[in-house]
Homo-oligomer: A and B are copies of this chain.
């Protein structure tokens, strides 16, 4: 599910290339709309539909993963070597990847002890980041 290894490199479309470029340079999980704005700013405008289609293809090919904000907006990231979880600041919205999946060892045991055939899991931490804790205003 998260393995880049499964990514069989099919020929890439212009849309996929450009979306992937922005995704690579972006340090934050980014929405389709934000991609749209960014691409337009870089003078490589791309239709929203094209962006969604590119993202879907990149996900299918294992280059990109997505998750949903609590409001239901999809955020996209290039997949890391391993799968990745984020802690997200409820104040400023910044997402920081966790160093490691805290659920890793547990997952192993779990696979053996349970009849439920585990494919993948999601985990996300929400709270207030250091910057916002120290921020004077609001």
Contacts and interface: CB of A to CB of B under 8 A. Distances in A.
A72 interface: yes
Contacts of A90: 119
Interface string A98-130: 000011001000100001111111111111111
Number of this chain's copies in the assembly equals 2
A136 interface: no
Contacts of A92: none
A129 B126 CA distance: 29
B117 A128 contact: yes
B125 A116 contact: yes
B126 A120 contact: yes
A32 interface: no
Given A90-B119, A103-B123, A119-B128, 9 more contacts: A68-B68, A87-B116, A117-B128, A118-B127, A120-B126, A120-B127, A122-B123, A122-B124, A123-B123
Interface of A: 68, 70, 72, 74, 87, 89-90, 96, 102-103, 106, 110, 115-130, 133
